[in-house]
Structure 1
């Protein structure tokens, strides 16, 4: 479970505005490291996040409309207000319960490909770490036991509704028979690294048409054999 102070602050920051068909809301989290995360969420998709180093709201949309500039100005003002509120509230919470250990949640790990695996056809591997807290996690990819960095992309942390986080790491690769790929995930709440492995499944060399023909032939021979048996059993 996530510390109660974090849940409280997340709930306090989930302001929303609803139009006739969409809901815009802001989610923010306050952490013991003094970091603050603010996301703008449209329906269920994160469309922007606050970059406090650049003092701007970064829009995570391809080709955003020109009207989004006004939204960015208002959104960063809201984010700065949230950051101040976070620091004040977290400071009061620490003073009220000094020395209490921070609870932690280890991640669940899932691994899958973008397309069905096919030899010599470029594909993407996804390694999903979900339901973990705090939001600090490390991905390591390897091919046949050797670490690889080329083609690796780590996406941003995303909030879950329960206050935990999820994050995806991707690897672009070209599968070949005999190769195996491993994603290793390290998180402070896990006693040891978690791993998932993927390798290209061998396809049968027998075509579906050949299998159908063989099965049909067997059934046909069984039918003939049964007919001959009953014919011989008829009384003379």
Structure 2
């Protein structure tokens, strides 16, 4: 079987950061990662910096055929949109740092090199090495505490992806849902797999059953995760309870203030 992916990582030029430094990572022949950075002294021993900044470029026969991502401690910072030839921040707050990224021309050159190496290694190992493929693992949870009738977001986390190629779909009570759905780009994890998130904007109702289905080429069902409301707090009940608690606290502080005021005005025994 051919190699499913070739992953390349590049170190940061900043020696203050602990950086994953791998020249080439093959599917079944991983070179050990080395870290660089200024050590911190704690008594008689040393402790390396606890943060990891990594840039990973991958290319593969499956779609997407290539990808590039910057991560910090496993969280996605930036990704490169190859069709649009531009960097994209994971969050709007990261926008000011986009100017420090590699130029699109350099990235295209790197990705071309990656694809050339992939074709070469595939030809060399055809029929000699087994195919490497991970079994996706999916889980579904809400972004905010569950309240019936209040808008929320369902998050489907898909891990252990290798290669970085999968399709995520949503269903409610067995019916396909497409509105309010958005999906992140693939980004790498420390074990050289990939992670993917899919978001669904929804308003939870009693009796809901949502399904997140993950499929991988060539269309085989890989993973299914279900979500049902568990011990939800109805929004009207929650508002009533909070209102009652607020009124009770207001009465308590009012009575306490009156008592303290009366005590302050009472003449002392020495007067």
TM, length-normalised to structure 1 = 0.70
| Cα distance in 2 for residues equivalent to 1:5 and 1:107 | 15
What SS does the aligned partner of 1:192 have? strand
Q: Secondary structure at the match of 1:89?
A: helix
Do residues 147 (structure 1) and 203 (structure 2) align?
no
How many corresponding residue pairs?
A: 200
CA distance in 2, matches of 1:75, 1:45: 22
Q: Match of 1:45?
A: 75
Closer/same/farther in 2, CA of residues 17 and 41 from structure 1, 3 Å limit = farther
CA distance in 2, matches of 1:26, 1:192: 31
Structure 1 gaps of 5+ residues are 206-236
Please state which structure has a larger fraction of its residues in helix: 1
Aligned partners of 2:74 and 2:188 also within 8 Å: no
2:208 aligned with 1:182: no
Aligned position for 1:29: 58
Instruction: Note if contact 1:49-1:59 (Cα within 8 Å) is conserved in structure 2.
Output: yes
Among 132, 139, 144, the residue aligned to 1:103: 132
Distance 1:139 1:81, change over 3 A: same
Within 2, Cα distance between the matches of 1:118 and 1:154? 24
Preserved CA contact (<8 Å) 1:57 1:75 = no
Residue 108 of structure 2 corresponds to which residue in structure 1? 80
CA RMSD of aligned residues (A): 3.3
Give structure 2 stretches of 5+ with no counterpart: 18-50, 235-271
Among 76, 89, 94, the alignment partner of 2:117 is 89
Aligned mates of 1:155, 1:176 — CA distance in 2: 26
> Which shifted more, 176-185 or 22-31?
22-31
Residue 107 of structure 1: CA displacement? Answer: 0.4
Q: Which residue of 1 aligns with 2:142?
A: 113
